[in-house]
Chain A
Amino acid sequence: MNKFLKLLLSVSLLIATGSANAALKVLACEPEWGALARELGGELVDVYDATNALQDPHRIEAKPSLIARARSANLLICTGAELEVGWLPILLRQSGNSAIQPGKPGNFEAAAWVRKLEIPARLDRAEGDIHPGGNPHIQLNPHNIALVADGLSKRLAEVDASHAAQYQQRQKDFALRWQAATKRWEAQAVPLKGVSIVVQHRGFPYLSDWLGLKEVAALEVKPGVEPSGSHLNEVLEQLKRQPARMVIRAAYNSERPSQWIHEHAGIPAVMLPFTVGGSEQAKDLFGLFDDTVNRLLGALK
């Protein structure tokens, strides 16, 4: 019995000291927020990405590994704006973790920090996969990333107050590097201004808004509805009247519809990483924008 008590004591001590020294556990719904948390938290955070760049963030299941991660997370970073409405509520309910429930400091919604585009005037399922709060794919404008980074660093300092000064310092450093990089991308992307594009899923309004691209058509009939053959033909007809320079899709989208447009309309099909990990070059947030701008410029040649 004595031995058992000793063991119990040492195990609980181990757990207690372990948790005191451990990094802040962050569960990021999408890889871009995981990457941002790594930039702003460095060694202070232990980040787990709930999804990867090849997954459609609308269509994830509350799978066992995610429930386990939500159980011990100190901070949850998601896009919000109902992007994760299909799986996050279950995760939160099954987690038994009060720290990350909506409204708590441990629940961070990135979309709340930026101005949203494409807020639907009419809420109807017949319109497809629309989000009442506006288009949630906010990550492809570096100015949005800057705004979210500012909010997130403050949140990190709030949740992990003992390291507040370090988070502040890291944010300062990141903001400087990010600002310089943003200038560079904007200088590089000058030739993209006013260029007409076709998108496969309406996932790029913030990119278009940033670079001045003109979206003339979408391959999905309605958001989230797979492109049909007849709709592709319509788009092709439209392109004859209103030509576009390229058709773009996210890494997780099927390649076939944009390939079809490429073959029939003779415009380049461009795969964009869409988020961190979507291409070999998009290793972090800087790589994501480097690669995105490069791929778009490459299609102009």
Chain B
Amino acid sequence: MFQHKLAACAVAMALGAPAIATANDSTEMEKIRAEIQQMRESYEARIQSLEAKLKETGVVADRAEESAQRAETTAAKVATPPSSANAFNPEMALILQGAYRDQKNIENRHITGFLPTAEAPTNTRGFSADASEFSIAANVDTWLRGYANLVFVDGAVEVEEAFFQTLGLDYGITLKGGRFRSGIGYQNELHPHAWDFADNNLMYHALFGEGALQDGVQIKWVAPTDLLVELGAEFGRGSELNNANYNGASSMNAFAHVGGDFGASHAWRAGISFLHSKVDKRTFEGTDVNDVALAGDFSGRSRTWLADFVYKWAPNGNAQHRNFKLVGEYFHREENGNLNVDTEGTYQSAQSGWYVQGLYQFMPRWRVGLRYDQLYRDKANWNGNDIGTVVKELADYDPRRATAALEFNPSEFSRFRLQYAHDQSMQGIKDDQITLQYILSLGAHGAHRF
């Protein structure tokens, strides 16, 4: 039928040609042309729709073929067990980090006024390429997922995290167990490579060294609301710096996060956390006011309140070209117990601090950041007197630091950072620090946390 019409059209065209030659009437010619054109268009549309139909059946056929192929490959895999043995390979990722640092040579780096943590501020100058992080993750079975993060530092491997996590318990509940970065605050859960600056902020450094780790269990609940309401609690040993060896949980914390959007361009999250720890002989080294070296330890009770806030902006939520991030955190910590500095004595402290940082990506790949750290040493008494009169590093001094950074991110897997800091975290020392750093991520595609 279709061919018949085509033939008819051809005949019409053939007949039309001599007709045009003889009849000089231009309107007639116009009319015939229009008719032919119309016919042509209608046939073309039909051919198109037929073609589309053919194609559609083709797609279906392709799908059938694909599934057949899939069945074939599955069959092949079943037939050759050794080749499927490595099909369960977990996600692996390696973070390469290195830096060039220019700063004063100060052997006894510390944060004045605050009892030192296990991790002193680095005094490594020049080139260094330590702290490569290796992470491995996979689902254990239907119910659990396992994750481990190992840090290679010169001469040692540290287990930064090694935990299991439930895979979709219902009612918004997630359980975590093992060693993990505590869910308190905002920055605490971030590994150093995900920090927005080359070094830790003074607040976290003074409190935990790098961050609060937990050897224990965590329970988290997300409320069934459109606004994010997330409640969590942890029970465990706490950080190494607590040096705890008790039955039961020597470190407990609870945290709450609330977050949401304002339109498409703005997102925010705010939180409060409370951390309670029993501390057993947290050791430290320092000098007395006559510059004679001394060693001491603290045992007692440590309670910390934290408040955190994160705000992010990107035009229409498209962070590709321009975006802005603002983070602020505040803490207040009280510690009570015994401080042993050659002789036993009671120790009481109430200290606080905050940091605020803003990061602005002004064009693709380029980002600038500013950070300000401020700590308040406030009360730190030993046997009723100011400890600053006994230990020089615990003098009554409010540490502070201002930092600026420029980042170049060729892709989401690589980052180069130039950072300048004016550091006044030690009494009587003003240190201008310049850091040039690279962070590269290999392997499994990491996910973007908020």
A114 to B450, CA, bound (A): 32
For the complex, is B226 an interface residue (Cβ under 8 Å from A)? yes
For the complex, is B173 an interface residue (Cβ under 8 Å from A)? yes
- Please give the distance in Å from A21's CB to the nearest CB on chain B: 16
Hey, which chain A residues are within 8 Å of B220, CB to CB?
94, 96
How many chain B residues sit at the interface, stated as a range, is 35 or more
Known: A54-B318, A61-B450, A68-B260. A96 touches B221 (CB 8 A): yes
Of residues 254 to 296 in B, which have CB atoms within 8 Å of A's CB atoms?
257-261, 264, 267-269
For the complex, is A254 an interface residue (Cβ under 8 Å from B)? yes
A-to-B contact residues, CB < 8 Å: 51-52, 54-56, 59-65, 67-69, 71-72, 82, 85-90, 92-101, 113-115, 125, 128, 143, 146-147, 182-183, 186-187, 190, 224-226, 252, 254
- Please give the distance in Å from A74's CB to the nearest CB on chain B: 12
Hey, which chain B residues are within 8 Å of A101, CB to CB?
167-168
A-B contact pairs, 16 of them (CB 8 A): A54-B264, A61-B449, A61-B450, A62-B449, A64-B260, A67-B259, A69-B226, A72-B225, A90-B448, A94-B222, A96-B222, A101-B167, A115-B59, A125-B411, A143-B55, A190-B48
Of B52, B63, B228, B315, the contact of A186 (CB 8 Å cutoff):
B52
Contact B59 A68 (CB under 8 A): no
A227 to B227, CA, bound (A): 38
Hey, which chain B residues are within 8 Å of A143, CB to CB?
52, 55-56, 59
Hey, which chain B residues are within 8 Å of A68, CB to CB?
222-223, 225-229, 259-260
Instruction: Report the nearest A residue to B364, measured CB to CB.
Output: A226
Known: A59-B412, A60-B448, A114-B59. A96 touches B228 (CB 8 A): no
Extra 19 A-B pairs, beta carbons < 8 Å, given A69-B226, A71-B223: A54-B317, A55-B317, A59-B448, A61-B319, A63-B267, A64-B259, A65-B226, A68-B223, A68-B259, A87-B448, A96-B168, A96-B171, A96-B174, A96-B220, A97-B168, A98-B169, A125-B442, A143-B59, A186-B48
Contact A63 B59 (CB under 8 A): no
| In the complex, number of A-B residue pairs with CB atoms less than 8 Å apart | 164
Of residues 352 to 374 in B, which have CB atoms within 8 Å of A's CB atoms?
364-365
Contact A64 B165 (CB under 8 A): no
Residue from the set A94, A128, A183 with the largest chain B CB neighbour count within 10 Å: A94
- Please give the distance in Å from A70's CB to the nearest CB on chain B: 9
Closest 9 CB pairs of A and B: A64-B259, A98-B168, A64-B228, A96-B172, A54-B316, A68-B228, A101-B168, A187-B45, A90-B447
Contact A86 B447 (CB under 8 A): yes
Contact B45 A62 (CB under 8 A): no
Hey, which chain B residues are within 8 Å of A90, CB to CB?
447-449
For the complex, is B35 an interface residue (Cβ under 8 Å from A)? no
Contact A95 B222 (CB under 8 A): yes
Known: A93-B145, A96-B170, A96-B222. A225 touches B448 (CB 8 A): no
Instruction: Report the nearest B residue to A226, measured CB to CB.
Output: B364
Contact B172 A71 (CB under 8 A): yes
